[in-house]
Amino acid sequence: MASRSSCHAIKHDVFISFRGTDVRKGLLSHLRKELRRRQIDVYVDERLERGDEILPSLLRAIEESQISLIIFSKDYASSKCCLEELAKIIDCKQTNKQIVLSVFFNVDPSDVRNQQGDYGDAFAQHEEKLKDNGKVQRWRSALRKAGRLSGFHYPTNFEDESDLIDKIVEDIAEKLSKFYPSETYGLVAIDQHIEKIQSLLMRESNEVMLVGLWGMGGIGEDKDYVISQLDAWGFHGASGIEVLQKKALITISNDNRIQMHDLIRQMGCEIVRQESIKYPGRRSRLWDSEEVYDVLRHNLGTDEVEAMKIDLSQFTDLPLRVDTLKNMPGLRFLKLYYPLHIELSMPPSRVKAMLLVLGL
């Protein structure tokens, strides 16, 4: 991943600074889930009990993040550790041009900026207990600067927490896209195809929607094709690829193709198999031809299924009904493998009929 400065390589998309168990179990838990669903890498201090001294690992995590998100809550300023995080974040903004976003969660931005209300009370206690007045002034300065940043003011500007989370995630994704530009530049007419796919998704619908991606077998997928498909589904494709590469789960070849070691692939397959050893229809992914056949033939799919691969070269017939996929409302990805270079056991007329049943 590219480095923002000569000193620190970027390892995280977002560092989140927060205070309190209520924030952790409420807003933060839902926000993290949505960010991770979008394949955005998030760093959060997992310690339930946070002391007054900030850990060096937290300072490094701030330096190694593209974006810092500060959740200013009622008790934020009472934590010396949070104030140290804040001061470090403001330093990174000034020296490394780090993007800083503020969430004023049930607090007034002016209280943060001017250390009034609960923030004023917290600083009165800090000044009483600490002999190092320079540290307190550094915290005050950081709060003044952060309080002047445009941010998300809840509940003033949002209907509910869900609306707040949606806006935060969209803003973060948009800002990250500038660091991970689209890899489809230079591919002739690819944008029109992507727009057509996006128009078919109908994300606001609660119905089961399928989009078939039809192409020649054996070509493989480079980095440019995978990213475009992930982006079309609303995932942060480039960021997700970077995360997998950083964790050494995939490699990128010289000709820009994504590669995965067989052992890692087998391990991933086994993890999915363990989700439900006896009942494949209760797994998140289906790819084994025999299991796919049984699930479709006997209508054994469930809402746990998110992705499925159908290799038409393995079937002599695949009886399907119109309601076959209704038991799989969570299905987001369906891959049909239809090799053009070999003769299929299934007659072309039957393939066409099956596609019509699937709505493709």
CA distance linking residue 101 with residue 250, whole number of Å: 31
Q: Can you give the pLDDT at residue 4?
A: 46
Give the containing element (helix H, strand E) for 309. Answer: strand 307-311
- The set of catalytic residues is 85
Query: When comparing pLDDT for 236 and 308, which is higher?
Result: 308
Tell me: the pLDDT tens digits for 59-71? 999 999 999 999 9
Rounded to a whole number, what is the distance in angstroms from the first to the last CA of the chain? Answer: 38
Lowest mean pLDDT among 1-10, 57-66, 127-136, 205-214: 1-10
CB 292 within 8 A of CB 354: no
Q: Can you give the pLDDT at residue 54?
A: 72
Q: Can you give the pLDDT at residue 203?
A: 53
Lowest mean pLDDT among 23-27, 47-51, 261-265: 47-51
Q: Can you give the pLDDT at residue 212?
A: 57
Q: Is the pTM of this model over 0.75?
A: no
Q: What angle do the packed helices 223-232 and 190-201 form, to 10 degrees?
A: 30
Q: Can you give the pLDDT at residue 37?
A: 82
Tell me: the pLDDT tens digits for 312-354? 767 666 666 667 778 888 888 888 776 554 455 556 666 566 6
Percentage of the chain with pLDDT > 70?
A: 73
Q: Is the dihedral of CA 37, 42, 46, 48 positive or negative?
A: negative
Average pLDDT over residues 289-317: 83
Query: Is the pLDDT confidence value at 112 over 90?
Result: yes
CB 339 within 8 A of CB 214: no
**Where is mean pLDDT largest: 81-90, 187-196, 303-312?**
81-90
Tell me: the pLDDT tens digits for 6-34? 346 788 899 999 998 889 999 999 999 89
Percentage of the chain with pLDDT > 90?
A: 35
Q: Can you give the pLDDT at residue 220?
A: 44
**195 Cβ contact partners less than 8 Å away, ≥ 6 residues apart:** none
Domains and CATH numbers, the chain: 12-177 (3.40.50.10140), 190-358 (no CATH)
Tell me: the pLDDT tens digits for 208-236? 555 555 544 434 456 777 787 777 766 67
Q: Can you give the pLDDT at residue 39?
A: 79
Q: Can you give the pLDDT at residue 355?
A: 61
Average pLDDT over residues 91-107: 93
Tell me: the pLDDT tens digits for 73-90? 999 999 999 999 999 999
CB 239 within 8 A of CB 39: yes
